[in-house]
Amino acid sequence: MTALRPDLSAFQGSLFDQGDDIRLGPLGGVRRTGLDGGAWIDHLPGWLQGADALFEDLVARVPWHAEERRMYDNVVAVPRLLAYYREGEPLPHPVLAEARAALSAHYAPELGEPFVTAGLCLYRDGRDSVAWHGDRTGRSSTRDTMVAILSLGDPRDLALRPRGGGPVALRLPLGHGDLVVMGGSCQRTWDHAVPKTSRAVGPRVSVQFRPHGVG
Ligand SMILES: O=C(O)CCC(=O)C(=O)O
Ligand SMILES: [Fe+2]
């Protein structure tokens, strides 16, 4: 496994967020969109101020690695870089621990348990992506849960459609400190993806917080 240092020359930063002061805003402004089958999406654009400074710090300090997957007779590269922080493992920046604690407190009445793990993805350019899937390797395959995602860097679309296919029902551009939370039956009854794009886009980092046993 090789650690990688991505080329940041394509990263422009946001015109609206040039500060180095990295700070979370209140969660009171999240807006919920209900989806069919008991799923929902919460969205809060610009939750984190100083998102570009955090982005650059994470790109430089997280031990990013590439993965390969077997596809029938071939071994193919996973089209993004990854890092994973297990329950109890220190996160790569203190504001991520604050974010996890704030999300845990805000959603406790509904979720009944804290967010504990953090998965990080780095999309280097428009060729990096994540294919249609639900996060259903653990308890989320049978139970309602939540996955909270903080997005940094250049926005990329998170697309959602009902599980099993059909047209895209929702497309949210996420970057520069935006928060999205997928909740209810979303991982079971809906699929999500970050599609490849031919637009000239800079890199994006996604930080996914999940409860224990949700993958
Ligand atoms: O990049 C994102 O925001 C989504 C990532 C994702 O769906 C996953 O890692 O399961
Ligand atoms: Fe996912």
Domain boundaries, the chain: 25-211
Tell me how far the alpha carbon of residue 194 lies from the centroid of ligand 1, in angstroms: 7
- pLDDT recorded at residue 16: 57
- pLDDT recorded at residue 188: 96
Which ligand 1 atom is the nearest neighbour of the CA of 119? Answer: 9
Q: What Å distances lie between residue 4 and 63, 69, 87, CA to CA?
A: 7, 18, 24
pLDDT in tens, 84-137: 999 999 999 999 999 999 999 999 999 999 999 999 999 999 999 999 999 999
Per-residue pLDDT at 8 exceeds 90: no
Which ligand 1 atom is the nearest neighbour of the CA of 193? Answer: 7
Give the mean pLDDT of 145-170.
97
- pLDDT recorded at residue 12: 65
Tell me how far the alpha carbon of residue 172 lies from the centroid of ligand 1, in angstroms: 13
- pLDDT recorded at residue 17: 57
Cβ atoms within 10 Å, residue 162: 15
Among 42, 182, 208, 210, which is best to mutate for testing ligand 1, by the most ligand atoms less than 8 A from CB? 208
- pLDDT recorded at residue 178: 98
152 ligand 1 Cβ < 6 A = no
Collapsing DSSP states into helix, strand and coil, what is residue 52? helix
Residue entry with tokens 């400074």 = 53
- pLDDT recorded at residue 111: 97
Q: How confident is the model at residue 20 (pLDDT cuts 50, 70, 90)?
A: confident
- pLDDT recorded at residue 11: 67
CB of 120 within 8 A of CB of 77?
no
| Beta-bridge partners for 55 | none
CA nearest 163: which of 27, 47, 39, 14?
39
Per-residue pLDDT at 15 exceeds 70: no
Per-residue pLDDT at 50 exceeds 60: yes
- pLDDT recorded at residue 120: 98
Tell me how far the alpha carbon of residue 208 lies from the centroid of ligand 2, in angstroms: 8
Q: How confident is the model at residue 169 (pLDDT cuts 50, 70, 90)?
A: very high
Give the mean pLDDT of 54-75.
95
pLDDT above 90 as % of the chain? 86
- Quote the CATH superfamily of domain 25-211: Alpha-ketoglutarate-dependent dioxygenase AlkB-like (2.60.120.590)
Give the mean pLDDT of 139-156.
96
What is d(CA 208, CA 215) in angstroms, rounded to the nearest whole number? Answer: 10
What pTM does this model have?
A: 0.93
